[in-house]
Each structure stands twice: as structure tokens, then as C-alpha cells.
Amino acid sequence: MTDSKYFTTTKKGEIFELKAELNSDKKEKKKEAVKKVIASMTVGKDVSALFPDVVNCMQTDNLELKKLVYLYLMNYAKSQPDMAIMAVNTFVKDCEDPNPLIRALAVRTMGCIRVDKITEYLCEPLRKCLKDEDPYVRKTAAVCVAKLHDINAQLVEDQGFLDTLKDLISDSNPMVVANAVAALSEIAESHPNSNLLDLNPQTINKLLTALNECTEWGQIFILDCLANYTPRDDRESQSICERVTPRLSHANSAVVLSAVKVLMKFMEMLPKDLDYYGTLLKKLAPPLVTLLSAEPELQYVALRNINLIVQRRPEILKHEMKVFFVKYNDPIYVKLEKLDIMIRLASQANIAQVLAELKEYATEVDVDFVRKAVRAIGRCAIKVEQSAERCVSTLLDLIQTKVNYVVQEAIVVIKDIFRKYPNKYESVIATLCENLDSLDEPEARAAMIWIVGEYAERIDNADELLESFLEGFHDESTQVQLQLLTAIVKLFLKKPTETQELVQQVLSLATQDSDNPDLRDRGYIYWRLLSTDPVAAKEVVLAEKPLISEETDLIEPTLLEELICHIGTLASVYHKPPSAFVEGSRGVQHKRLPGSAGSGESVESPDTSSAAGLSEAPPAVIPSQGDLLGDLLNLDLTPPATTGPTPPPSSGMQLGAMDLLGGGLDSLLGGDLGGSPAMGAAFGAPPAVMPASFNAPVSGGLDDLFDLGGGVGMTMGAYSPPKTIWLPAMKAKGLEISGTFARRAGVIQMEMTLSNKAMSVMTDFAIQFNRNSFGLAPAGPLQVLTPLNPNQSIEVALPLSTVGPVMKMEPLSNLQVAVKNNIDVFYFSCQYPISMLFVEDGKMERQVFLATWKDIPNDNESQFQIKDCHLNSDAVSNKLQSSNVFTIAKRTVEGQDMLYQSMKLTNGIWVLAELRVQTGNPNYTVSLKCRAPEVSQCVFQSYEAILKN
């Protein structure tokens, strides 16, 4: 029998045909038709129009057909509530059927139909089914109560179904018990405070009995429910544990993990000196290891959980390091998790093995995995002091491979190693510095800068190194900028004489030219600190740093406790509390380990070691990123005496600043600094700059604007063609770019209008050019500071330089551009008018012109006609001049004006021209002579464009 044919139906009049078939007298045909309907429904076609016809097929003694109709009903009843009523009678009748399978089917399906009127009719049959003689019907009815509660909670309470459900916990059939437990647990979750599942020793006993008898799934429901119970004392806790441990040998991993959850939780209450406590710990390890031979998806879930268990009770798996070694064919998600656990289990005893493995992993293919392996080596060094030396040398070996991402990752971890073991491994700094140029990731750059700043006194050219970073200060990420600022201040405090200029430069970059408030604030803090009390500055900036902890990514203890209560569930996979990813009231309840919630009543003897176990001080966690922050936190922000947060009025400022300098700086610099006043002045400036800087940029900006306006209005600007669409929105996922080129005040600009025609916000714009004939390249980043909202347009002017890489293009003025945003990278090409490349000093001396003209062979001369131009020669000359085509001489021969002109391209190529203008004749002739005749065509086109504009 093949059913696949139902997936292929004729398209035309499909619904109509189906309707006819559904109403057919023949049973077989009806069934076929319903199958087709279900197939269409699966694929996502709307077959709701057939509702009455399908419902008509419901009254049948064919169970298969009935099930199909029910399936249809569950899908569409909600959209057709009125018609769904038609089905009620059949449901009610089926609930009375002598066949228990049909009774159960009816009540199961009714519960899935979320239509109020059907729900009303559900109550009576459900009540009967909950007390049915057949266990199959009862177990189905138990789940149905949960369904009904989801639709109408009030109704369930009013009808007293909850009590009936509670009675089912004492049912003789284990599966009924299990389903009742599942239903009650779910209902209880949405009533956090109701004592619905009132678990007491009697009910617990019943659950534990059912645990031995029910299906694997039932065992999971029961174990998950047990995990919510808090035993009264350690004896009860132990007896439950004893009855749960056999489950650790179940073939179903979910049964095993749920059992582990119960044991992990109840173990908290056992005294640690109890023999049983030790036995239990030993019993937990083997099943956890066995989980690793399950299918990869389960391995992943198990590993995420083991990660939690190891953090809470490292003793369980401390001898099992080897099972976490990565296999070559493990899926990547298993590999990454195993690596995490390897680091957690690393100790002096096994470090040699671990390191050998990690070194092996660092040569694998997957980039993420390799990075993590390199990072792991660093973490081993920090965790196991004895291994630090070996780790460092391993890292150095890896740096020698020169694989870019390996080097960067290694530098990041070496920074942490320096933090942990100061004055031990600084000899490797030289090797690190060799790789300075290859660092392109912010984290690695920041780490390197930190190292240079921290050890400035040992690195001879520290100032040069830092200065090299400073060149592209504004292109760096915030992380790097902040680090650079701190590093240079450190450098200055260590070597004040040589680095004055540098520190001033960075401070002004950070405070005046930056839009980033964090950066600006830090800049001001340093600036003020240096200018008021340099001794304090030294104390603050070069203060001893707090030690970094062994473990960098430990889960915060209270969260860990909560997650332990959620072992096996999604929360334990995500390592997030359920409230972080579950909507609504469910799962908002925070679970706690017993005893730790501070509820002393439930724990009889709070002085037992269970409490002691919990009070073990959690290791202080300082994120490895935190050293920046650490510096700042050490700052005592209340200034020593004078300066408040608001600077004094600017008039008195200069003087005040001089005073502030005082002897402080001298004391810092000692006698070596002859030029201290000069330097003082330099430092005196900043507070003054503060208030001023609020005005200056604004007014400056306005001036610029006026300049621009004036320029355009007064002298005619260089020719710039109108904007054309370069990148249509269709081709760029909604980003439209139109643009043109212009030369404004000697700067070539690419002027673009970016329009967002998509539905989502666009950010992170960047631009890049392909190599081109004249080496055009963006002189700065694309300045789109605010995100571009849908239907918004923005004008951007991108200054261009001509020092980029050169490659001859066809046509010559072709430019290939790549624009990136948060969505994708887009490519387009456009042509620029060559007149844009005519430089301002393109006027040739007459003599030189003559000589050059003669010198260039006649083969290089090309002639063009410019048609339909009605300007006189003076106007022509003026117009061309504004585009940097300079008229050197004019000669009038036989009513013809001969204009001799010169222009120079950005790459130094001279173009000479002879333009013949005949009064009365609208057609001009231009002869171009150039050593590179390829450009002539383009130059001619520019002539035409300029003159006709």
C-alpha cells in the first residue's frame, strides 16, 4: 500500500473534487479523500473549506477513518468553532463506546479541540473517563485534565477535576499514576503557590512503588516530580536515594539523568561523613560516563549537564578525565563541550596528559575548536601552577606556526598568564612583539597593547609600538581604544621624558575626537589625574592588580544551584534559568537546592555538614576582561581637594590649571625634566578644553557648512555629474545606493545617498574598493553613525585618496565597489569623471607647454569633436578652469579661437589640449596630447560633460 500518491494531486479544482469524493457513498473512496485532505494539510495548504464534508465522515465504524477525521478536527476546529459543534454528538457517543480504545480516543481528541462549546461538553465524559474501569482510558483522561486546564483553568477547578486527578496518584495501574503525576506537575507549575502536588511521605512512597513498574517515560515523569520534593531529614533523604539509585542502570538516558538530578539534590542533605554519602558519590560516576556512549545528540545534552555537575561536585568525575578526550569524528558540538569539561577536570595529576591532548587539538581543522583548544592551554596554565611553564612553551610553539587565529588566541591567553604569574614569563615578550602586525582581532590587539603598556619599562621601543597603534585610533574597536589609552598612560608614568607627546595625543584623541562616552570619560579621568596629582596617578594607574581567579567562566553559584535542580532539561542545556527562555508564568519559579534557600524549617539540623558544604566560599570570579575595569574601579573618584566635577569658569581656567600643575608633576618627574613648565602647560590645557570642547566642534562644524555653501554659491564648483543609481535596491536586499563623484576643495569625494528600502534596520556600514586605474581608495571609513531605519535615506560623503593599489581597468575610469552592512556584502561598479582627478596645480608654464607639446609624438595625439556647444571661448575657459583645466594661452587665427590648455592627473600624468572654438559654429574641435594616450578618451568625455553642463 502506498500513500505517497496523496501528496500529488491535480491543482485545478482540487477542493471541489475532494468535496465530491468526501460525499461519495463508497466507503473506500471517502477514506481515500480524507487521506488526500490530510496530506494537503500537512504540506500547509488550507483545506478548511472542506470542514463540513470531513466532519460528515466522522460517524463511521472504521477506526482508521475516524482517527483521520479527528486529526483534521484538531487542526481546523479552532478556525471554524461554529461548525465544530457538529462533531460534539459523535464525541459524546464515542465516550460511551464499549471499546476502551475508542473511549480513550474520543476523550483524547476532545481535549485537543480548543473551542469553548466543545470544552463545555467535555466535562461530563471526562468525569466518567477518569473513573473508567479500563486503565487505558484512565491514563488518557488524566492527561486530558492537563489539556483542559490549559484551555480553561477555572473550569477544571470548579469541576473538581484536580481532586480526582490527585486520587489517581493512588491508582493501581502504574501508567495511570505516571500520567497523573505528569498532569499535576504541569498544572502546579502555573500555580506556584498552590499546594497542588502536596508531596508527603505517603505519596512519595506510592510514587517510588510505581517507579519500579511503569514505562520508561512514566519513570521520567515520576523522577522529575520527586526532584521537587524536599525531604524532612537526612534519613528520609537517604531512603529515597536508595530507592532511586537502581534507575542509574536504565537503558534510557533520560531516566538516568532524572535519577541523577534527584540524587544530586537530595545528597545536599546527607551528612558528608556518612558512609552512604561516599558510596553515592562513587555510584554517580559510571552512569554519567556511560551517557557518553549514547548517540551524539544525547552526548551533547549529557555533556552540558556534566559541566554543571562538575562545577557543583568536582569529586564525582575527577578520575574520569580520559573519557572526555575528543575523538576525531565527534560532531563539533560534542568536541567543544568535551574541551570545556577537560579544563574543569584538569589537575596536577593529569595535566601532562591534558596538555598533550590540547596540543594535538590545536592542529585540527575547525577554527572554533582550535581557538578553544589554544585558550584551554592558557587556562590550564592558570589553573595548575606547576604546568604553567610547559603551557607557555606550548603556546610559543603554536605561535611559531604563524597560523593567524592561533597566534591571536595565544596572545590573548598569554596576557592572562602574565596577570596570574607576574615577573615570570616576560622573556617571551620579544616573540610576541614579532607578531604585532598579524593581529587583526580586537581582543588580540587589546591583549597585546595591555602587555606593551604593562611591561613598558622592559620593552625598549614600547613608545614606537604604541604609537603605531595610535595612527588608526578611530578605526579601532572601543576595547582596543580603551586599552590603548590606559597603556599609553602607563607608559608615560613609567617613562615620562620621552612619551609626553604621545600621551597628549592619545588624551586628545580620546577626549576631543571621540564620540564614545566611555572612552571620553576615561580620557578625562586620566587627564585630570595626571594634571592634578601625578603621584596619585601613579598609585592608581600602576596599582597592584587583583589576582585573577583560576576559573574564568564559572557559573554564578545561585544560578548553578538552580540549574542543578533542572538537570536533564532545556535549562541545563542552555545554562540559563527557565525564566530566560520560557514565556508566561511557567517556569518562573526559581528552584533551589534544599537547605540553601535559607528555609531553616525544613532542615532539622542546620548545623549538619550539609549547611557546611554549602557555605564553602565560592571562588571569587573576576572575568579575565576585567583588568581594564579593575584599573578604573581602583580609582577613588572623589577628588583629593579642589576640582569638583564641574570645571571652573573658563576665564580663570588657564591660571587655575597652571596652579594645579604645581610641584606635583615635578615630584613625579624628579629632576630629569627640564621642560616641565612646557609640559605643565600642555597639561593645563585639558580642563580648559572641557567646557570649550562643547562649543568648538559645533561652531567648527557650522563654519564648515557655511564654507561649503559659500563655495558652491560663489565660484562655480568643479563639475560633478548628477547622482545616478549605482546599486538598485532589488540587487542589494533593500539597500539602494545612488551617488556621484565630486572634487571639493581639492579633495575627491564620493557622494552617496544610501536608502533603506527593506523592512529591517541597517547598521555596520563599511566600504571597500577594488584596485583601479588611479589608485582610488577611501580615505576614511564610511561614516554612517546612526542605524539606517526602514524608508530612511542618508547622505554620505566619503573622502577618497589616490594612494591605493593600482590596476588598469577597462574602461579606464571604472571603479568596483563593495559595500557591507549588517545584512550582507554587495558589489557594484561605477564610473567616475576623470575631471575629478585634475589637480589644482595643473597649470603648465608656457615654455614647458610648448616643449612638451613638441616632445610628445604625434601618434599620441587624438582629435575629438564636441558638438552643440554655444559658449564663447572665455566662458569655455572659465568653465573648464573651475574643473582644474587651465588655459595657458589663447590665439585667434582666422576667426577661430585656439585655446591651449593643460591639466594634471593625480598620478602626475599631464594632458595637453588644443581647443578650437569657431564663433558661430557650435562644433568645437579638441586635440589631446598625452604621454599616456589611453586617458584621452576619458578626458574628452570630461570636456564634453563639463562644457555641456
Partner 1 sequence: MIGGLFIYNHKGEVLISRVYRDDIGRNAVDAFRVNVIHARQQVRSPVTNIARTSFFHVKRSNIWLAAVTKQNVNATMVFEFLYKMCDVMSAYFGKISEENVKNNFVLIYELLDEILDFGYPQNSETGALKTFITQQGIKSQHHTKEEQSQITSQVTGQIGWRREGIKYRRNELFLDVLESVNLLMSPQGQVLSAHVSGRVVMKSYLSGMPECKFGMNDKIVIDKQGKAGSSEDGGKSGKQSIAIDDCTFHQCVRLSKFDSERSISFIPPDGDYELMRYRTTKDIILPFRVIPLVREVGRTKLEVKVVIKSNFKSSLLAQKIEVRIPHPLNTSGVQLICMKGKAKYKASENAIVWKIKRMAGMKESQISAEIELLPTNDKKKWARPPISMNFEVPFAPSGLKVRYLKVFEPKLNYSDHDVIKWVRYIGRSGIYETRC
User: Which of the residues 360 through 419 are near partner 1 (CB under 8 A)?
Assistant: 360, 363-365, 401-403
583 is a site residue for partner 1 (CB under 8 A): yes
Is residue 830 a contact partner of residue 798, using CB atoms and an 8 Å limit?
Answer: no
Q: Which is nearer to partner 1, 370 or 632 (CB)?
A: 370
889 binds partner 1 (CB under 8 A): no
Minimum Å distance from CB 376 to partner 1? 17
Q: Which of residues 519-538 bind partner 1 (CB under 8 A)?
A: none
- Site residues (CB under 8 A) for partner 1, limited to 167-196: 173-176, 179, 182, 186
Cis peptide before 790 (omega within 30 of 0): no
Say whether residue 258 binds partner 1 (CB under 8 A).
yes
Contact 310, 346 (CB under 8 A): no
Which residues partner with 766 through β-bridges?
820
Q: By C-beta, is 45 or 424 nearer to partner 1?
A: 45
User: According to the binding rule CB under 8 A, does residue 617 interact with partner 1?
Assistant: no
With binding defined as CB under 8 A, does residue 63 bind partner 1? yes
Say if residues 244 and 226 touch (Cβ distance below 8 Å): yes
Q: How far from the centroid of its chain's Cα atoms is residue 216's Cα?
A: 39
Nearest residue (CB) to partner 1, 208 versus 673: 208
Among 85, 274, 323, 428, contact with partner 1 (rule: CB under 8 A): 323
Shortest distance in whole angstroms from residue 54 CB to partner 1: 15
- Least distance CB 331 / partner 1 (angstroms): 7
131 lies in the site for partner 1, by CB under 8 A: no
Helix boundaries (H) for 23-99:
27-43, 51-56, 63-76, 81-94
Q: How far is it, in rounded angstroms, from Cα 336 to Cα 366?
A: 10
The count of residues interacting with partner 1 (CB under 8 A) is: 117
Q: Which residues contact 391 (CB under 8 A, 6 or more apart)?
A: 355, 377, 378, 380, 381, 417
State the DSSP code for 547. P
Q: Which of 332, 349, 535, 825 binds partner 1 (CB under 8 A)?
A: 332
Q: Which is nearer to partner 1, 319 or 846 (CB)?
A: 319
- Considering beta carbons, is residue 144 or 537 the nearer one to partner 1? 144
Provide the greatest CA pair distance for the chain: 124
Q: Which letter, b or e, does each residue of 81-103 get, where b requires 16 or more Cβ atoms within 10 Å of its Cβ?
A: eebbeebbebbeebbeeeebebb
Give whichever of 540 and 758 is closer to partner 1, judged by the CB atom: 758
Residues 678-697 within binding reach of partner 1 (CB under 8 A): none
CB burial readout 476-485, b (16+ within 10 A) else e: beebbbbbbb
CB nearer partner 1, residue 215 or residue 865: 215
Instruction: Pick one of 25, 61, 275, 471: the residue that binds partner 1 (CB under 8 A).
Output: 61
Which residues, other chains included, contact 872 with Cβ-Cβ below 8 Å and sequence gap of 6+?
897, 917, 919
CB of 924 to partner 1, least distance (A): 55
Who's near 151: CB < 8 A, 6+ residues apart? 114, 119
Q: Is 861 helix (H, G, I), strand (E, B) or coil?
A: strand
The residue from 30, 108, 390, 445 that contacts partner 1 (CB under 8 A) is 108
How far apart are CB 338 and partner 1 at their closest, in Å? 12
* Phi, psi (rounded to 5 degrees) for 754: -100, 125
C-alpha span between 211 and 221 (Å, rounded): 9
For partner 1, the binding residues in 448-467 under the rule CB under 8 A are none
Total Cβ atoms within 10 A of residue 831: 17
Give the one residue of 37, 94, 270, 287 binding partner 1; rule: CB under 8 A.
Answer: 287
The three cell numbers locating residue 714: 560663489
Instruction: Give the nearest distance from C-beta 480 to partner 1 in angstroms.
Output: 26
Q: How far is the CB of 144 from partner 1 (least distance, A)?
A: 8
Burial group, residue 895, by CB count within 10 angstroms (0-12, 13-18, 19+)? exposed
β partners of residue 741: 750
- Sole binder of partner 1 in the list 167, 198, 213, 389 (CB under 8 A): 213
Options 581, 612, 710, 923; binder of partner 1; rule CB under 8 A: 581
Footprint (CB under 8 A) of partner 1, residues 218-257: 220-221, 224, 243, 245-247, 249-254, 256-257
3-state secondary structure of 573: helix
Compose the 901-920 pattern: x for residues touching partner 1 by CB under 8 A, - for all others.
--------------------
Does residue 154 interact with partner 1 by CB under 8 A?
Answer: no
Q: How far is the CB of 463 from partner 1 (least distance, A)?
A: 32
Exactly one of 92, 298, 673, 761 binds partner 1 (CB under 8 A); that residue is 298
- Look at residues 431, 450, 441, 477 and name the one whose alpha carbon lies nearest to residue 367: 441
Q: Which stretch binds partner 1 (CB under 8 A): 97-105, 441-449, 766-774, 818-826?
A: 97-105
Question: Is 6 one of the binding residues for partner 1 (CB under 8 A)?
Answer: yes
CA distance 650 to 854: 65
Q: Which three cell numbers stand for residue 890?
A: 589663447
Residue 714 interacts with partner 1 (CB under 8 A): yes or no? no
* Site for partner 1 contains 282 (CB under 8 A): no
Q: What is the dihedral of CA 698, 704, 707, 709, to 10 degrees?
A: -80
Question: Binding residue for partner 1 (CB under 8 A) from 18, 22, 33, 38?
Answer: 38
Q: What number of residues does the chain have? A: 949
Cell numbers at residue 718, please? 568643479
Cα dist from 59 to 79, 92, 93, 105, 364, whole Å? 21, 12, 10, 14, 63
User: Which of residues 365 and 714 has its CB atom nearest to partner 1 in the complex?
Assistant: 365
Nearest distance in Å: CB 845, partner 1: 51
Closest separation between CB of residue 99 and partner 1, Å? 6
Nearest to partner 1 of 73, 429 (CB atom)? 73
Q: CA–CA separation, 196 vs 189, rounded Å?
A: 9
Q: By CB under 8 A, what part of segment 629-658 binds partner 1?
A: none
Which residue stretch of 38-46, 854-862, 901-909, 911-919 sits at the interface with partner 1 (rule: CB under 8 A)? 38-46
- Site membership for partner 1, residue 59 (CB under 8 A): no
Q: Of the candidates 19, 29, 35, 206, which one interacts with partner 1 according to CB under 8 A?
A: 35
Q: What is the C-alpha to C-alpha distance for residues 341 and 304, in angstroms, rounded to an integer?
A: 9
Among positions 333-352, residues that touch partner 1 (CB under 8 A) are 333
DSSP reduced 3-state for 914: strand
Contact segment (CB under 8 A) with partner 1 among 320-328, 373-381, 533-541, 662-670 equals 320-328
Helix (H, G, I), strand (E, B), or coil: what is residue 766?
Answer: strand
Distance CA 593, CA 586 (A): 19
Asked if residue 439 binds partner 1 (CB under 8 A), the reply is no
